[in-house]
Amino acid sequence: MATLIVPAAVPPVAEDCEQLRKAFKGWGTNEKLIISVLAHRDAAQRRAIRRAYAETYGEELLRALNDEIHGKFERAVILWTLDPAERDAVLANEEARKWHPGGRALVEIACARTPSQLFAVRQAYHDRFKRSLEEDVAAHVTGDFRKLLVPLVTAYRYDGPEVNTSLAHSESKILHEKIHDKAYSDDEIIRILTTRSKAQLLATFNSYNDQFSHPITKDLKADPKDEFLGTLRAIIRCFTCPDRYFEKVIRLALGGMGTDENSLTRVITTRAEVDLKLIKEAYQKRNSIPLERAIAKDTTRDYEDILLALLGAEY
C-alpha cells in the first residue's frame, strides 16, 4: 500500500551522509541528489542518516537542509525527513497555534493513526515543544471544536477486533437521535466518537446504515457550510474510508484557484509509507487521471520532483 521505493541494495549510512554533504557544498545546492537519497529511504533509514550526519559533521541534518533549501520544497523535504511521530507533532502544533475551523491535520492525526502511533505523537510533542498536545489544543481552539478535539487527541482507544453488536445497535440509535435533533455537539456524540475503538465505531456506523437506510455522513450534510459538521464527517471518514478521505483532500488541494501546497505536502509525506498507493487508486477512479499527472500539472521543479518521488516515480 505504500508508494515509497527503497532500492534493493541500500548504500551504507556513511555513504548517504557523504552524498548529502556533497549536495550542500560547492556552487549551488544539488536538489536532485538530496531527493535521490532522502526520498528513497524509509523512516528507520532516515533516522539513522540523521544520527550519523550529526555525529560525522557536528551539525544537525535538518539545520543543514534548512540552510540550503527553501520554500515549499524545503517544507516537503523537512517533513519527510522527520520521524513519523515527530512530523505529526509538528503538524499538530502548527494547526493548534494557527487553528481555524476548516483545519484537518488534528483530525487526521487523531483518527487515521493507530492508538499506539497517536500516543507516540503525544510523546514526541512533549519532547519537542515542552508542553502537551492537549494543552495547546485547549489553549487555541474554542467552543464546540475544543469540546470535540481535546478528547479526540487524548484518546487511547482499544485497538483489538472485538465488537459488541448490541452496543453498536444502541449507540447508532443515540447518534441518530442527536443528529435528528441537530444536537451535533452533544456529549453523547462526542463520547462515542472519541472513546470507542475503530472496530466498534465501524460496527456502529454499519448499524446506523442498516437501521436508517443511509450512511451517517449523509445526515451530517444538513448544512454543507457548517465547519463543525465537516469536522464530524472528516472524523468518520478517517475511520471508515481513509483512502477516499485523503483522495478528497488532495483533489481539493489541486482543484482550487491555486494549489494548496500545505495540504498536498501533508498528505503525501504522511501517507507515502502507509497507504498512498490506495489513495492514488482512489484518485484515478474518482478523477480519471493519474495522481502523478495531476501533481505534475500543478507543481514545478524540485517540489514537483520530491512529490513524484514519494508517489513512487522511477528514479
Binding site annotation covers 160? no
Locate cell 465488537: which residue? 163
Contact at 8 Å (CB) between 84 and 96? no
- Gyration radius (Cα) of the chain, Å: 21
Binding site annotation covers 195? no
Binding site annotation covers 304? yes
Cα distance between residue 197 and residue 186, in whole Å: 19
Binding site annotation covers 103? no
CA distances from 282 to 52, 69, 234, 251 (A): 38, 32, 17, 11
Binding site annotation covers 299? yes
Binding site annotation covers 298? yes
Binding site annotation covers 28? yes
286 CB-near residues (< 8 Å, 6+ apart)? 244, 247, 251
Cα distance between residue 231 and residue 225, in whole Å: 11
| Chain centroid to CA 65 | 22
Cα distance between residue 200 and residue 187, in whole Å: 18
**Bind-site residues:** 24, 26, 28, 68, 258, 296, 298-299, 304
**Bind-site residues for Ca(2+):** 24, 26, 28, 68, 258, 296, 298-299, 304
